[in-house]
Amino acid sequence: MSLILRRKWLNYLRKMLSIIFRGNILLSVLFILLPVDDVIIAQNVVSKQPQSDEVVKYITASDFKANVFDYSVGEYKFLGKKPVLIDFYATWCGPCKALSPIVDAIAHNYSSLIDVYKVDVDKEPELAQVFGVRSIPALLFVPKDGIPRMLGGYMYYERLALNVAVLLLGQQLPQEIVQLYQIQQQQLQQQQQTKETTE
């Protein structure tokens, strides 16, 4: 495909994705602001997905205590060499199955920067209980410096990559995106307050 056709196709794809994500201002702005050559498309999930789970490690409670941090001690001290992303899942969970190839792609694409672990909540209920996992999928972001953060629910590749960049790698977002995100959060809070007052 020629460079001109490729650019036109990527511009079209970027416009279509911004229309699809119009309900989510943050994702729409990211797709509009990214240069054409840097657009992350869903193809990354399929084409760069590892053929096996060589990058993703399945972890037990004892492995977690040895490689991430020992939660039985009262003090938090990170033991890993790289920031860690932990996917809490179950084999019977539909959204977990949908998220799995995305987590695998993140593990493959960021293998030199982060470690990615998976925890089966049915086999490791202790870990699920320690971190208060009540619904799955749930993702625990453990930076080298800072406090671990848990996010729940399914995430698209782009959103997960953005969370990895911000929460694990400490990258800063452009100020415009931060402001739009803050506006979106304020709108959500107002909607929740309105909903609570009407009930």
Catalytically active residues, by annotation: 93, 96
CA-to-CA separations, 155 to 11, 89, 103, 106, in angstroms, rounded = 24, 13, 9, 12
The CA distance from 84 to 171, in Å, is: 15
The residue type found at 6 is R
Nearest of 85, 80, 87, 77 to residue 146 by alpha carbon? 77
- Tokens, residue 83: 């920031």
3-state secondary structure of 16: helix
The three-point CA angle 108-111-114 to 5° equals 125
Report CA dihedral (137, 143, 146, 149) to the nearest 10 degrees: -10
